[in-house]
Amino acid sequence: MVVALVVVAFGVVKKLGLRELGLLVTLATILVITLAPAPAVFANDTDHCINGGWQPTWIPWPINGRSLNVWMFVPLGAFAAPTKQRWLILLPVAIEAAQRLLPLSRFCDTRDVADNVYGFVLGLALATLARYLGEQHRRRHRRIQ
């Protein structure tokens, strides 16, 4: 069974490409984490979204609920950068709307939108910087030869 999964995985990578597969896996993971029904103790007992005012955690350490919202979206931003799928920045708003509208017993929190967008933009920036540095390295390497 493991061999079959590996063969299927290689086939998917070959057909989609590593970036597209990374984007798909990251997107699926985020949707599972954010839209899975929450335990009853976390039930959304308000008729509106919580609006506590975003207090940025510029360096989101130590790991906590707020920083996890940031770090969860960094890979999505990184995979979205080279594939030009920047429309995915709308995903945090869609997730919070789904948490509010669907019977998932999840809290809708406007701070999550800001944290998720921050993570997405951080991923875009890191991927763009990595691509730029890689191009500079290749140019320098070509001049040496």
Range of the domain at 9: 2-144
* Number of domains into which the chain is organized: 1
- The tens digit of pLDDT for each residue in 95-145 reads 988 888 888 777 777 888 888 999 999 999 999 999 999 888 888 877 776
Coil vs helix vs strand at 15: helix
DSSP string for residues in 49-107? -B-------SS--S--HHHHHHHHHHHHHHHHHHHT-GGGGGHHHHHHHHHHHSSS---
Q: Is this prediction's pTM over 0.75?
A: no
Rg (CA), the chain: 19
Question: Could you report the per-residue pLDDT of 10-42, keeping only the tens digit for each?
Answer: 666 667 777 888 888 898 899 888 888 866 555
